[in-house]
Structure 1
Amino acid sequence: MRREEIVQTYHLKGNPGQGLALATFGFFVGFAAVSLFGPVTNNFNHLMHMKGLLLGLLIAAPNLSGSLLRIPFGAWVDKAGGKKPFIILLLLSLLGMAGLTAILFFYYPRGITLNMYPVIFFFGLLSGCGIATFSVGVPQTSYWFPQKKQGLALGTYGGLGNTAPGVFGMILPFALAALGLTASYAAWFVFLLVGTVIYSLFAQDAYYFQLAQTGKSQEEAKQIAQDLGQELFPSGKMKEALRISAKTPKTWLLVILYFTSFGGFLALTGWFPTYWNQYFGLSAGQAGLLMALGFSILASLVRIYGGHLSDKFGGELTAVLSYGVVLSGALILIFTHNFWFALFGEITVGIGMGTANAAVFKLVPKYVPQAPGGASGWVGGLGAFGGFVVPPILGAFTDLYGKKGYAAGFWVYVVLAAIAIVTSFILRRSAQS
């Protein structure tokens, strides 16, 4: 039968373009849930008078859930497809946003004290569930596309989805001026709610999962999906996907790489507004715009082209060069006291991280083709855990060195980038042998 006849016979919905668009939209919406959290922690800090370590932990709270939940939910895609895990994570994020909005409505500003830290931290954790949608969208997108198009597809998915913090970072100063903090949070909650509904109504899993959900056997569903062009197929069990990918040594090398690039990206998305505000004395609005334009949006859009470079030159070589760029930018941020050089350093780090992120996920289906969902969970989850680990360390530098600590903290990225460069070389040599 022709493709159109097969689709009509089995009542299949969607196509690769729609699959990519809805996965990207869902990730963008989920990431938007935490775009206000970093900036609002500065407001809370003025009222709660936190130490640098506590401030770093609070900024990083969404990244804890957003990273660790990627592991089981990414692997679950190999069993259930992407739509169901995606919706559950978005609903958990909605609960977090609702809780934070309620705190602002009933307690801000006079009722916000250090005693409320655990409650705010908890709702920050829930909000971060939207970040975990990334590892769901990666295999959901991968199953729609052939191997030769993985780099560009995943680069587009990750790149456009990752623009959420930057886009909302630009909108935030205007929203705060027009609506105030509480109403702005309520508006973000409504956006997340509407986005969740849209994703739930229109997103579709790849053909194999649609067929499996109608009762087709694994073999029959696989054969029909292959006739429609699908190349990647799951092991079928969540635990099996995690086990297979965990037993693949290169999964853990990819975790190391992603810890630096995407974990580092998450950490700096929350930290850069504080850095610009405290180290250079910029207003919260100016600091947010610099983070958005000079880092978050830039890194996200570069990720799209990074996918193209990874398809053309290979993910391994692209990673080596990208982490070298990250290291260079971190050194600039350490030693400069000049605003323009610091901005150049931020931009340099953003370009390196964006390109590296694309390179890493070009390599996931290459090295773990039998369980890309499980591998996506390990790499996306433990890699993104850097977004939780790094901010408290950066905060500790400020506790130790005062204002100078905001620059000295970037030694963390020098070390991480150097480790990532060595790891990328190991992968490149293994690919050539």
Structure 2
Amino acid sequence: MESFKVKGSPTIGLVMATFGFFIGFAAVSLYGPVAKNLKEILGLSGFLLGLLVAAPNLTGSLLRIPFAAWVDKVGGKIPLATLLVLSVIGMAGLSTLLYLYYPNLEPWMYWLILFFGFLSGCGIATFSVGIAQTAYWFPESKQGFALGIYAGVGNLAPGIFGMILPFALKEIGLTTSYILWFGFLLIGTVMYTLFAKDAPYFQLIKAGIPREEAIKKAKELGQELIPTGSLIESLKNSARHIETWALVALYFTSFGGFLALTGWFIVFWVQSYDMEVRHAGLLMAFGFSLLASVIRIFGGWVSDKIGGELVSIIAFSMVLVGAIVIIIGGNTNFVVSLSGEILMGAGMGIANGAIFKLVPKYVPHATGGAAGWVGGLGAFGGFVVPPILGLFVEAHGVLGYSKGFIVYVILAISAIIISSILWKAYGKEINKPIEE
């Protein structure tokens, strides 16, 4: 066993974790671009429409908890590959259904489409798995930047797919578009499985090297974070920290809000301004999703410098202003509404980078478990919010698409308060782990 050589490097670990997250995370945009088509064919209410748009986010959020904690036991490769395979099954089912029946879908097929959305959403859960996998490869002083790159690049997927899919729908049709998406996901899953590598500690353990010796060698290779227990222990350990639950609340607004609006903004532009779905997809991508993804890198970087707590306060203030601006814009002032979308996208992206800088800081001995709670329950906002926005539409008609953003006003104010409390308690401890 002494001759065993660890494979990979922090760079390879980051690249493959980011790649796996990218191909799985595209499912956020699964139904947003075709929501109007399905609404008309199936005769959906505002609530059922919101539920369909949000469907991938249910499994994509809740499965983050056990799968991220599983990383602490076996490393990131097996959990992430498992989620991608489940997503492949969902996309295969959806593609088959559309090939056989679209556009002659029956109302009862809504529930089957919803189910395939749940399965496809398993790929979204790769986020917290990759977070833990990346964190184990890098020293804490570089985690903010590394995790910013991971999440920033991976987060580009919904924007890119939300932008491409409407054009593909027009040129090659809905069924062919989803079949090609299935092919992309299948090939990507195979590539991840072939080339991804776990952090040194996990490779050494799998090679049969005793734990103490594996820890020593892993630290010699630069791995600072070492898991302390099993999946259940990791979840329990991280759950004991009140800071974990504070970050869950913050992430519910920033990332859960991001997931919800990535699908919903396309519907917003189409219904509020009678816009073509292709143009709505472009506005969602460039004005919100891609912006939030790219600027997340900056959020992680600046959090390394001045602390994630202060960055969160600033970011959620941007979200608050953006939501208010959209409410003011209603469905009559395009420039005002677009300005609000851009503000919200930038604020959410920066906050996302800041919050996950704080995860290994607050819970260094159970990072996988903490990433599971924060990434899972936080991302649950992506499932909860769209149906609520749909209720505003049922109550107020077209105006409900803008009035519904009062939900984000409330969430942003709550997040600012929580961030301020954390800043007062820990703001000066920028890179120093919180003691047990």
Mapped pair 1:320 → 2:307:
no
- Residue 401 of structure 2 aligns with which residue? 406
Structure 1 contact 329–349 (Cα < 8 Å) conserved: yes
Paired letter, 1:27: F
- Residue 432 of structure 2 aligns with which residue? none
| Distance in 2 between residues matched to 1:432 and 1:406, nearest whole Å | 37
| Distance in 1 between residues matched to 2:170 and 2:126, nearest whole Å | 31
Shift of 1:34: 4.1
Mapped pair 1:52 → 2:46:
yes
Match of 1:355 among 315, 336, 350: 350
Mapped pair 1:392 → 2:384:
no
- Residue 90 of structure 1 aligns with which residue? 84
Paired letter, 1:393: I
- Residue 252 of structure 1 aligns with which residue? 245
- Residue 73 of structure 2 aligns with which residue? 79
- Residue 120 of structure 1 aligns with which residue? 113
Gaps of 5+ in 2: 429-436
| Distance in 2 between residues matched to 1:39 and 1:117, nearest whole Å | 16
- Output aligned runs, 1:58-69, within 5 Å: 58-69=52-63
- Output aligned runs, 1:181-260, within 5 Å: 181-260=174-253
The alignment partner of 1:215 has SS state of: coil
Paired letter, 2:153: L
| Distance in 2 between residues matched to 1:402 and 1:37, nearest whole Å | 21
| Distance in 1 between residues matched to 2:161 and 2:113, nearest whole Å | 21
Shift of 1:423: 0.5
The alignment partner of 1:131 has SS state of: helix
Match of 2:274 among 272, 277, 281: 281
| Distance in 1 between residues matched to 2:39 and 2:226, nearest whole Å | 48
Paired letter, 1:261: S
| Distance in 2 between residues matched to 1:80 and 1:37, nearest whole Å | 33
Shift of 1:341: 1.1
Could you give the per-residue CA deviations for residues 266-306 of structure 1, whole angstroms, max 9, x where no partner exists?
Answer: 00001000000000110111111111111000100000111
Match of 1:153 among 143, 146, 158: 146
Paired letter, 1:140: Q
Shift of 1:221: 0.6
| Distance in 2 between residues matched to 1:82 and 1:173, nearest whole Å | 33
- Residue 19 of structure 2 aligns with which residue? 25
| Distance in 1 between residues matched to 2:159 and 2:177, nearest whole Å | 16
Structure 2 contact 31–52 (Cα < 8 Å) conserved: no
Shift of 1:411: 0.3
Check 1:103–1:160 CA distance in 2 against 1; reply closer, same or farther (3 A cut): same
Structure 1 contact 33–192 (Cα < 8 Å) conserved: no
Match of 1:304 among 297, 302, 305: 297
The alignment partner of 1:387 has SS state of: helix
- Residue 108 of structure 1 aligns with which residue? 102
The alignment partner of 1:109 has SS state of: coil
| Distance in 1 between residues matched to 2:254 and 2:27, nearest whole Å | 21
Count matched residues.
426
Mapped pair 1:70 → 2:64:
yes
- Residue 428 of structure 1 aligns with which residue? 423
| Distance in 2 between residues matched to 1:89 and 1:134, nearest whole Å | 10
| Distance in 1 between residues matched to 2:213 and 2:229, nearest whole Å | 14
| Distance in 2 between residues matched to 1:34 and 1:247, nearest whole Å | 31
Mapped pair 1:381 → 2:381:
no
| Distance in 2 between residues matched to 1:138 and 1:267, nearest whole Å | 20
Q: What TM-score comes out, normalization by structure 2 length?
A: 0.96
Shift of 1:173: 2.7
The alignment partner of 1:143 has SS state of: helix
| Distance in 2 between residues matched to 1:61 and 1:227, nearest whole Å | 44
- Residue 3 of structure 1 aligns with which residue? none
The alignment partner of 1:33 has SS state of: helix
Mapped pair 1:265 → 2:253:
no
| Distance in 1 between residues matched to 2:315 and 2:290, nearest whole Å | 17
- Residue 286 of structure 2 aligns with which residue? 293
Shift of 1:37: 2.3
Mapped pair 1:130 → 2:123:
yes
Q: Percent identity?
A: 61
| Distance in 1 between residues matched to 2:170 and 2:110, nearest whole Å | 26
| Distance in 2 between residues matched to 1:409 and 1:177, nearest whole Å | 30
Shift of 1:209: 0.2
Mapped pair 1:370 → 2:365:
yes
Paired letter, 2:124: I
Q: Which runs of 4+ in 1 moved over 4 A?
A: none
The root-mean-square deviation of aligned C-alpha atoms, in Å, is 1.2
The alignment partner of 1:232 has SS state of: coil
Shift of 1:432: 4.7
| Distance in 2 between residues matched to 1:338 and 1:241, nearest whole Å | 49
| Distance in 1 between residues matched to 2:427 and 2:87, nearest whole Å | 43
Shift of 1:9: 3.6
Shift of 1:205: 0.3
Structure 1 contact 33–189 (Cα < 8 Å) conserved: no
Shift of 1:42: 2.4
Shift of 1:117: 1.6
| Distance in 1 between residues matched to 2:417 and 2:165, nearest whole Å | 39
Could you give the per-residue CA deviations for residues 25-84 of structure 1, whole angstroms, max 9, x where no partner exists?
Answer: 000000123433221232211101111011111111100000000000010000010000
Mapped pair 1:142 → 2:130:
no
- Residue 431 of structure 2 aligns with which residue? none
Structure 1 contact 36–185 (Cα < 8 Å) conserved: no
Structure 1 contact 33–97 (Cα < 8 Å) conserved: no
The alignment partner of 2:33 has SS state of: helix
